[in-house]
A and B are shown apart, each in its own frame.
Chain A
Amino acid sequence: MNIKKMTFVMLALLLFIMPVLLLLLQSVSSPWRFQSGESFHFQIESFQVLWSAANLLEATLWSIVVGAGVLILNMAVGIAAGKALSTLSFKGKPLLEALFLSPVLIPVLAVAMGLHLFMIQAGLADTALGVILIHLVPTIPYSIRIFHNSYAQLGKHMLEQPVVLGAGPLQQLFTVELPLMKPAIRSVTFLTIVISLSQYAITSIIGGGRIVTLPMIFFPFLDTANTSVMAAFAVWFAMIPLAMYIIVEAFILLLPYSRMPWRNTR
Chain B
Amino acid sequence: MSHTLDVQHLSKQFNQDLILSDLAFQLKRGEILSIVGPSGSGKTTLLRILAGLESPSQGSIHMYGKEITFQKANRRDISLVFQQPLLFPHMTVQENITYGAKLAGKKNNHKISELLKSTGLDRFKSYFPSEISGGQQQRVALARAMATEPEIILFDEPFSSLDPKLRQQIRYWVRDFLVNQSITGVFVTHDTEEAMIMGDRLALFHEGKFQQIDQAEVIHKHPANSFVADFLGGHLVIDEQNYVPLKECSLDPINEQEARSYNGVLQHITYQNGQAVGHIFLEDLDHKISLPLEKPISGEEVTLYIKESSIRTFGGSSL
Q: Which residues from chain A sit less than 8 Å from chain B, CB to CB?
A: 157-158, 160-168, 171, 175-176, 179-180, 257-259, 265-266
Whether B104 lies near A166 (C-beta < 8 A) is yes
Q: Which residues of B contact A (CB under 8 A)?
A: 51-53, 72-75, 78-80, 82, 84, 86, 88-92, 95, 99-100, 103-104, 126-127, 144-145, 148
- Contact indicator A179/B90 (Cβ below 8 Å): yes
A160, A171, A180, A259: which has the most chain B beta carbons within 10 Å?
A: A160
B293 to chain A, nearest CB (A): 44
Contacts of B148 in A (CB 8 A): 165-166
- A sample of 13 cross-chain residue pairs with beta-carbon separation below 8 angstroms, ordered by A number, consists of A161-B82, A161-B88, A162-B99, A163-B72, A163-B74, A164-B145, A165-B79, A167-B74, A171-B103, A175-B88, A176-B88, A179-B90, A257-B90
Cβ–Cβ < 8 Å partners of A162 in chain B: 74, 88, 99
CB contacts (< 8 Å) of B86 on chain A: these are 157-158, 161
Q: Is the CB of B91 within 8 A of A164?
A: no
Identify the closest chain B residue to A158 (Cβ).
B86
- Provide the residues of chain B in CB contact with A259, threshold 8 Å: 90
Quote the shortest CB–CB distance from B161 to chain A (angstroms).
14
Check B53–A164 contact: CB distance below 8 A.
Answer: yes
Q: A165-B79, A167-B103, A259-B90 provided; 12 other pairs, C-beta below 8 A? A: A157-B82, A164-B73, A164-B79, A165-B148, A166-B148, A167-B74, A167-B100, A175-B88, A176-B88, A257-B95, A258-B90, A266-B126
Contacts of B99 in A (CB 8 A): 162, 165, 175
CA distance A95 to B95 in the complex (A): 41
Chain B residues within an 8 Å CB radius of A158 = 86
Q: How close is A251's CB to chain B, nearest CB, in angstroms?
A: 16
* Whole-angstrom distance between the Cβ of A178 and the nearest chain B Cβ: 10
Q: With the chains together, A9 CA to B82 CA distance in Å?
A: 44
B100 touches A165 (CB 8 A): yes
Name A163's contact: one of B53, B88, B90 (CB within 8 Å): B53
Q: Which residues of B sit under 8 angstroms from A160, Cβ to Cβ?
A: 53, 73, 82
- B213 CB to closest chain A CB (Å) equals 25
Contact B53 A168 (CB under 8 A): no
Does the CB pair B89–A164 fall under 8 Å?
Answer: no
Q: Contact partner of B74 among A168, A180, A258, A266, CB < 8 A?
A: A168
**A166→B92 contact, CB < 8 A:** no
Report how far A164 CA is from B99 CA in the complex, Å: 11
CB-nearest residue of chain A relative to B95?
Answer: A257
Q: Which 4 A-B pairs have the closest CB atoms?
A: A165-B100, A161-B86, A166-B103, A164-B80
Residue from A163, A168, A171, A257 within 8 A of B91 (CB atoms)? A257
Chain B residues within an 8 Å CB radius of A166: 74-75, 100, 103-104, 148
Decide: A164 and B103 in contact? CB cutoff 8 A.
no
Q: Write the nearest CB–CB distance from B124 to chain A, whole angstroms.
A: 10
Supposing A265-B126, A266-B126 touch, asked if A165 and B144 sit within 8 A by C-beta, the answer is yes
Residue of A nearest to B103 (CB): A166
Residues of A contacting B52 in the complex (Cβ-Cβ under 8 angstroms)? 163
B276 CB to nearest chain A CB (Å): 43
Q: How far is the CB of A249 from chain B (nearest CB, A)?
A: 16
Q: By the criterion CB–CB under 8 Å, are A164 and B90 in contact?
A: no
Contact residues in A for B74 (Cβ distance below 8 Å): 162-168
Contacts of A265 in B (CB 8 A): 92, 126
Cα distance A258–B148 when bound, in Å? 23
Min CB–CB distance B89 → chain A (angstroms): 7
A259 to B52, CA, bound (A): 33
* A165–B75 CA distance with the chains assembled, in angstroms: 9
Contacts of A258 in B (CB 8 A): 90
Known: A157-B82, A171-B103, A176-B88. A164 touches B51 (CB 8 A): yes
- Cα–Cα distance between A258 and B80 once the two chains are bound (Å): 26
Which residue in chain B gives the minimum CB-CB distance to A176?
Answer: B88
**A residues less than 8 Å from B53 (CB atoms):** 160, 163-164
Cα(A259)–Cα(B91), bound, Å: 9
Contacts of A168 in B (CB 8 A): 74
Closest partner residue, chain B, to A179 (CB atom): B90
CA distance A257 to B95 in the complex (A): 8
Instruction: Report the nearest A residue to B89, measured CB to CB.
Output: A180
Q: How far is the CA of A165 from the CA of B79 in the complex (A)?
A: 6
Q: How far is the CB of B254 from chain A (nearest CB, A)?
A: 55
Q: Give Cα A157 to B80, complex, Å.
A: 11
Instruction: Specify which of A160, A164, A168, A258 lies most central, judged by the most chain B CB atoms within 10 Å of its CB.
Output: A164
Distance of B63 from chain A, by nearest CB (Å) = 15
A113 CB to nearest chain B CB (Å): 45
Structural contact, A163 and B84, CB atoms closer than 8 A? no
Q: How far is the CA of A160 from the CA of B73 in the complex (A)?
A: 9
Q: Which residues of A contact B72 (CB under 8 A)?
A: 163
Nearest-Cβ distance from residue A180 to partner chain B, whole angstroms: 6
List chain B residues, Cβ under 8 A from A161: 82, 86, 88
In the assembly, what is the distance between CA of A258 and CA of B95, in Å? 12
A169 → chain B closest CB, angstroms: 8
A179-B74 Cα distance, complex, nearest whole Å = 20
- Chain B hits for A164, CB < 8 A: 51, 53, 73-74, 78-80, 145
User: Given contacts A179-B90, A180-B90, A257-B90, is CB(A165)–CB(B103) below 8 Å?
Assistant: yes
